[in-house]
Amino acid sequence: MADRIIVTGGAGYIGSHVCVDLLSAGKSLLIIDDFSNSSPEAVRRIQELAEGDIRLLKSDLADPAQRERIIDAARDFRAQGAIHLAGLKAVGESVTEPERYYRVNLGSALTLIDALKATGGKLIVFSSSATVYGDRNKSPVDETGLLGPTNPYGRTKYFIEEMLRDLHVSDPGWKIANLRYFNPVGAHPSGRIGEDPNGVPNNLFPYIAQVAVGRREKLRVFGDDYDTRDGTGVRDFIHVCDLARGHRAALDHLAREKAPGVVDVNLGTGLGYSVLEAVAAFKRASNRDIPYEIAPRREGDIAEIYANPSKAKALLGWTAEKSLDDMCADHWRWQRENPTGYGE
Ligand code: UDP
């Protein structure tokens, strides 16, 4: 069994939902987070939503000066594995500051590997992304799709996947799951935890939510001349609680199997919705107007991508259960009840 788990980036958007899910399943957690894009308030709320054993280490995994401290904490915790979510994630920023993205994302993964080596817990569930597929696949994309990320952020995800494969070659005792997320949205149904982006949101749902709540004037829809149903981009939106459950399914799979090796798994619903369909669904859920204008295509965007999620079902026994309406209702509840997020 793997019951003592490090969650890096555990205070973040996906991390906070993963922590609630794992605690509810009886796991003990060591959260490592530097709060550079998250809040200690999220950890407080995780504890409010789920009882259980949490330790918190405020540390930057990419800072060499903190490496020993992190290794000591992992050893002291007797970690049996990790869910690795810490990292920088803004695509545009990664294009202007590539070295920072490589240093932070690759450096953090390496420190985590060192920490796990110190504890003997050779198990990692890694937060990868559908962005590793690049733009040359026809949807639905399965795990054999062509890889080819188109920006530095995506390449850090791809390189970490490869690094973990090499780690497994060097020592087949390692058990690895690369979880390729599609578009995580929504929030915990309690309305207590959710996405709290720094500054102007890059992603569609947080932007829509801030328009609905009146924090921003209107959404810009990036392109309405794609070769899709209504001309706008099509994505596989997945409820963050389904995604969180997928991490637990992956963890349990790795723990249970004697030699699972390295598994790459899509976490998506298998359904594609367009930007305008998402706007309409959010409007229904919130009963608010979502003004928008059509803007030029955003550089680097592709017309359409959605998952073939059958491997997750066959291997992990996991499928997404929540609908687009659930995603919008829960995202809206979080936004309405926390109009300024965790608010510092
Ligand atoms: N999008 C948009 N306006 C925004 C943000 C996103 O029209 O303010 C579109 C974007 O062009 C893409 C979809 O919404 O077609 C999802 O974008 P997001 O950044 O959320 O995720 P991505 O799929 O790029 O990872």
Q: Could you report the per-residue pLDDT of 121-168, keeping only the tens digit for each?
A: 999 999 999 999 988 899 999 999 999 999 999 999 999 999 999 999
Alpha helices, DSSP H, located in 171-295: 204-212, 240-256, 275-286
Which one from 13, 153, 158, 306 is the annotated catalytic residue?
A: 153
Between the CA of 322 and the centroid of ligand 1 the distance, in Å, is 20
272 Cβ below 6 A of ligand 1 = no
203 Cβ below 6 A of ligand 1 = yes
Percent of the chain with pLDDT over 70: 100
Measured CA to CA, the distance from residue 218 to residue 289 in angstroms comes to 10
Look up 153 and say whether it is catalytic.
yes
One-letter identity of residue 109: A
Mean pLDDT score of the chain, rounded to an integer? 97
CB 7 within 8 A of CB 19: yes
Q: What is the chain's alpha carbon radius of gyration, rounded to the nearest angstrom?
A: 19
pLDDT level of residue 300 (50, 70, 90 thresholds): confident
Measured CA to CA, the distance from residue 257 to residue 175 in angstroms comes to 9
Give the pLDDT of residue 211.
Answer: 97
Measured CA to CA, the distance from residue 135 to residue 155 in angstroms comes to 13
Domain regions of the chain by residue span: 4-185+238-269+306-318
Interval 241-268 mean pLDDT: 98
* Closest atom of ligand 1 relative to the 129 alpha carbon: 25
Which residue lies with its CA nearest to atom 20 of ligand 1? Answer: 203
Cα distance from N-terminal residue to C-terminal residue, the chain:
39
Interval 266-288 mean pLDDT: 98
Instruction: Give per-residue pLDDT as tens, 314-341.
Output: 999 999 999 999 999 999 999 999 999 9
CATH of 4-185+238-269+306-318 given 3.40.720.10, 3.40.50.720, 3.40.50.1980, 2.60.40.420:
3.40.50.720
Which residue lies with its CA nearest to atom 18 of ligand 1? Answer: 203
**Which H/E stretch holds residue 219?**
strand 219-222
Is residue 271's pLDDT more than 90?
Answer: yes
* Closest atom of ligand 1 relative to the 275 alpha carbon: 14
Give the pLDDT of residue 130.
Answer: 97
Q: CB under 8 Å to 134, separation ≥6 — which residues?
A: 146, 147, 148, 149, 150, 154
292 Cβ below 6 A of ligand 1 = no
Give the pLDDT of residue 343.
Answer: 83
Measured CA to CA, the distance from residue 243 to residue 260 in angstroms comes to 21
Which residue lies with its CA nearest to atom 11 of ligand 1? Answer: 222
301 Cβ below 6 A of ligand 1 = yes
Percent of the chain with pLDDT over 90: 96
Is residue 1's pLDDT more than 90?
Answer: no
Measured CA to CA, the distance from residue 126 to residue 128 in angstroms comes to 6
Instruction: Give per-residue pLDDT as tens, 49-75.
Output: 999 999 999 999 999 999 999 999 999
**Residue whose CB lies within 8 A of the most ligand 1 atoms, among 269, 275, 294, for a mutation test:** 275
298 Cβ below 6 A of ligand 1 = yes
Q: How far is CA 208 from the centre of its chain?
A: 19
Is the previous residue joined to 140 through a cis bond, with omega within 30 degrees of 0? yes
Which two three-digit tokens encode residue 146? 């062509």
CB 304 within 8 A of CB 234: yes
pLDDT level of residue 256 (50, 70, 90 thresholds): very high
CA–CA–CA angle 291, 276, 339 (5° rounding): 50
One-letter identity of residue 118: A
pLDDT level of residue 344 (50, 70, 90 thresholds): low
* Closest atom of ligand 1 relative to the 221 alpha carbon: 7
Interval 8-30 mean pLDDT: 98
13 Cβ below 6 A of ligand 1 = no
